[in-house]
Amino acid sequence: MKFFVDTADIAEIKGLLPTGLVDGVTTNPSLIMKSGRDFREVVAEICDLVDGPVSAEVTALEADKMISEGKSLAGIAENVCVKLPLTMDGITACNALSGEGIKTNVTLCFAANQALLAAKAGATFISPFIGRLDDINIDGMELIREIRMIYDNYDFRTEILAASIRSANHVKDSALFGADVATVPPGVLKGLASHPLTDKGLKAFLDDWAKTGQKII
């Protein structure tokens, strides 16, 4: 599974790069707003830092304007992935941009039928929103399972990008159900390494080592 970091915070991205876990970055208008910086400037800086796809979202609602915005965003850097809403206009824009070799991430997916349309339109990624489904008592992981089955039935190349992830269990379950990518906030990604038994075991080892009075260097 690939990990994309869901943030527009440059410092957070730089802090995670040495781990080798950052395969890409996803942003949205809300995350850019939190950064308090110019949109294109932030996207360009992230693209310079990260080799993988960097999702940048259009704000238009009509297909022709989405296409224009998408082309403009794609011009920022080669690794920009244009983020489009899962509407019929978004699907139309996805088809047009994908046809020109521009990477696309179709977002705000809440149903398997929507994911089918995105794949037919040539989307690079489909982003089912797990957490938001859980918020209304619908099992987000069932959506991952359904999309995986449909895509495998027809050998679609669109990658399943599990989004709206709020916990380590969301990441684990997405991997179990076959998502290709998980886009996670920095705090959730760091938390994947945490376990109380790991902490307990490490403390015991270090306590015993201290008793030997030795040093490795």
Residues 119, 115: Cα–Cα separation, whole Å: 6
| pLDDT (tens digit per residue) in 77-89 | 999 999 999 999 9
Nearest residue to 8 via CA among 21, 22, 19, 36: 36
The token duo for 89 is 């206009």
Given a contact cutoff of 8 angstroms between Cβ atoms, the answer to whether 128 and 162 are in contact is yes
Which range of residues forms the domain containing residue 190?
A: 2-212
Q: Is residue 217 part of a domain?
A: no
- Cα 138–chain centre separation: 21
User: Could you tell me if residue 73 is inside a domain?
Assistant: yes
Mean local confidence (pLDDT), 4-11: 96
Give the mean model confidence (pLDDT) for residues 4-10. 96
34 pLDDT exceeds 90?
Answer: no
Q: Which residues are catalytic?
A: 83
Share of the chain above pLDDT 70, in %: 100
Per-residue pLDDT tens for 199-216? 999 999 999 999 999 999
Mention every residue, 6+ apart, whose C-beta is less than 8 A from residue 180: 1, 2, 159, 160, 161
Q: Residue 202 falls within a domain, yes or no?
A: yes
162, amino acid identity = A
The pLDDT value recorded for residue 35 is 85
What number of other Cβ atoms are within 10 A of residue 144's Cβ? 25
The model's confidence at residue 28, banded by pLDDT at 50, 70 and 90, is: confident
For the domain that residue 207 is a member of, what is the CATH number? 3.20.20.70
148 within some domain = yes
164 part of a folded domain: yes
Domain count, the chain: 1
Q: How confident is the model at residue 118 (pLDDT cuts 50, 70, 90)?
A: very high
How far apart, in whole angstroms, are the C-alpha atoms of residue 180 and residue 175? Answer: 8
Q: Give the pLDDT confidence of 165-182 residue by residue, as tens digits.
A: 999 999 999 999 999 999
Q: Which of 160, 139, 161, 165 is nearest to 150 (CA)?
A: 160
